[in-house]
Amino acid sequence: MRIALAQTDAVLGDIDANVERAEQMIDDATAQGAEVVVFPELSLSGFSVGEVDDDVSMELDDKRLVSLAERTDAGVLLGFPEAQTHGLHTYNSSAYFADRKLVHVHRKLYLPNYSIFEERKHFLPGQTSRAYPVGNGRHRAATLICNDAWQPQLAFLSVQDGAHILLVPAASGQSSFPEHYNAREYWEGITRFYGRMYQLFVVFVNRVGTEGQLRFWGGSHVIDPWGEMVGECAESSEDLLVVDIDLAEVRRRRRGIPLVREARLGMLRREIDRLLDEGGDL
């Protein structure tokens, strides 16, 4: 499978400008034979939506989303603030389109709400995590949006749901908070861990540019089922990286060392139920 990592900047609040940039990236990726094109978190709106006076949320049938989906037969993962049709809720969403149709929407599950991050103030957390078909249905992927990937249980669920690829769109910015935190080192540690322990490909696509105190550093990359980096974008500048991955390696790796075959879901459910009964987090 040929995957394109569209490492883009975003003009905060200017959907039309960001859609135009996405069109260029999709055209370039398609010209290079990409079967899947992955964009960063909130790539169509910019990250700091609370600083925008206008409502930049988009419904799933928004003509601008539809036009991007119809631009290619390849799969495209797009990040945007999603408005539900009844107008009550807005989600931080990444929607996967393939063959010019909507296949799946992942709504960010874990919303940072500390220091300079106020996502829970502007978005409602999603309620489900599902794998979905990619590559003409021959394989399955799952999406984890940025902070979702800092929750290992979500990657575990994705693998048990059949994912061969984790698509991780992000808007990771380096700031002065917290102390001893190097964003790039942390992310490479996370993606390599998932590649090795969950024995799958990890496609991390981060944005670039600046918004307020945040400097988005890029560094998008692909990790294989052995935890090795097989391709990496430039740091701090827009880039389009096209990488070929052999998904048969996932099966070979899992047969050789079956780390994920025996999940013991029943035992986990019993222990989770026990923790809930003891006053755990719902």
* Candidates 3.30.70.20, 3.60.110.10, 3.90.1150.10, 3.40.50.720; CATH matching 2-277: 3.60.110.10
Give the C-alpha separation, 43 to 46, whole Å: 6
Q: What is the pLDDT of residue 132?
A: 98
User: pLDDT digits over 158-172, tens only?
Assistant: 999 999 999 999 999
Q: What is the pLDDT of residue 204?
A: 98
- Which residue from 88, 32, 31, 81 is spatially nearest to 57, judged by alpha carbons? 81
Per domain, the residue ranges of the chain are: 2-277
User: pLDDT digits over 55-99, tens only?
Assistant: 999 999 999 999 999 999 999 999 999 998 777 899 999 999 999
User: pLDDT digits over 191-245, tens only?
Assistant: 999 999 999 999 999 999 999 888 999 999 999 999 999 999 999 999 999 999 9
In contact, 41 and 10? CB cutoff 8 Å = no
Q: What Å distances lie between residue 25 and 37, 72, 164, 240, CA to CA?
A: 9, 11, 25, 7
SS3 annotation, 212-246: CCEEEEECCEEECCCCCEEEECCECCCEEEEEECC
